Amino acid sequence: EILRALLDDMTTHLAPELTNDLSLLRVGVQDELGTVLMHQGKFPESEALLRHTLELNIALRGETDPRCTESMNSLALLLSRQG
């Protein structure tokens, strides 16, 4: 929660030209956090973050970007672990 609040706060106070860079940073942080939560067995929290990360990756980079594929893979791994 603290990390999400910090990222939200940073987004509202940055100049518009830096917002996209922060969004890309946020996607990376959320992906890592989602993966950590998955390894901790916190599946609902992980799933929410990984789904949101995938949505952001698609919006920011487009479906054909390799990082979107990585996000899809992370989400698929989580869903397979959930059963």
Residue-wise pLDDT tens digits, 22-66: 677 788 888 889 999 999 999 999 999 999 999 988 988 889 989
Q: Where are the beta strands (DSSP E) in the chain?
A: none
Q: Specify the residue for token string 């917002």.
A: 19
Answer whether residue 18 shows pLDDT above 70: no
> Rounded to whole angstroms, what are the CA distances from 11 to 38, 48, 62?
26, 20, 21
What is the predicted pLDDT for the residue at 60? Answer: 85
Please, what is the end-to-end C-alpha distance for the chain in angstroms?
27
Angle between helices 66-82 and 16-39 (to 10 degrees): 30
